[in-house]
Amino acid sequence: MATTGEMGDNRVVVGITGASGALYARRVIELLTAADVEVHLTVTAIGRRLLFDELDMTRVDPDALSGGRGAFVTVYNDNDLGAAIASGSFLSRGMIIVPATGNTVGAIAAGITNTLVQRAAVVTLKERRPLIIAHRETPLSHIDLLNMQRCDAAGAIITPLNPGFYLRPRTIDDLVDFMAGKLLDLLHVPHDLQTRWEEKVRE
């Protein structure tokens, strides 16, 4: 990706939390690193469990999460609230939380920063950088909706992991790609996935 990097354009902060959908996180990281974007990654304690449950990953493995481009991935300890990404001085293109739990959304909505994912997200909002929250839960409670509304009002983009079917997906990978492409579009990171709708010509 052609960027100077001077304003952090070649860096994206990624948070993985303990919601179902680890496949989405892996695909997003693959695509970001394929675009030569540095991924600065933190995973909550339950997020690590989900990486194991859904991807058999016994540790946060930069190579396995990036299709072999682990050199582009820096992993931070989610308990380390003094890590670089906890500070607004760490310039970045923005942050994506994928998948995002209701728990983490609630914390961000309340300005609570008990994990590095939460702190980095609150800092991203404070610095007025894009914060993409790829939430996964259904159904939603009134509290979930209020928390999302607060995050939205503070500038976050709430993006439910909710793939469309108009491109006629045939595999789970197609569904994952649909969402991953949409998430990269929100960060203005280029990708080659055919995930955008084009009107069909009717006979």
Ligand X SMILES: Cc1cc2nc3c(=O)[nH]c(=O)nc-3n(C[C@H](O)[C@H](O)[C@H](O)COP(=O)(O)O)c2cc1C
66 is an interface residue for ligand X by CB under 6 A: no
Stretch that binds ligand X, among 27-35, 40-48, 61-69, 178-186 (CB under 6 A): 40-48
Nearest in space to 95 (alpha carbons), one of 2, 175, 187: 187
Q: For residues 35 and 29, what is the distance between their CA atoms, to the nearest angstrom? A: 10
Size of interface with ligand X, in residues (CB under 6 A):
15
137 is an interface residue for ligand X by CB under 6 A: yes
Q: Which of 12, 13, 14, 19 binds ligand X (CB under 6 A)?
A: 19
Q: Which of 42, 101, 159, 195 binds ligand X (CB under 6 A)?
A: 101
**Concatenated DSSP letters for 59-72?**
S--HHHHHTT-GGG
5: how many CB neighbours lie within 10 A of its CB?
Answer: 13
With 0-12 / 13-18 / 19 or more C-beta atoms within 10 angstroms meaning exposed / middle / buried, residue 108 is buried
Per the document, the length of the chain is 203
Stretch that binds ligand X, among 4-12, 26-34, 45-53, 64-72 (CB under 6 A): 45-53
Report the nearest approach of ligand X to the CB of residue 26 (Å). 16
Nearest-CB residue to ligand X? Answer: 18
Binding site for ligand X (CB under 6 A): 17-20, 44, 46-47, 53, 101-104, 115, 136-137
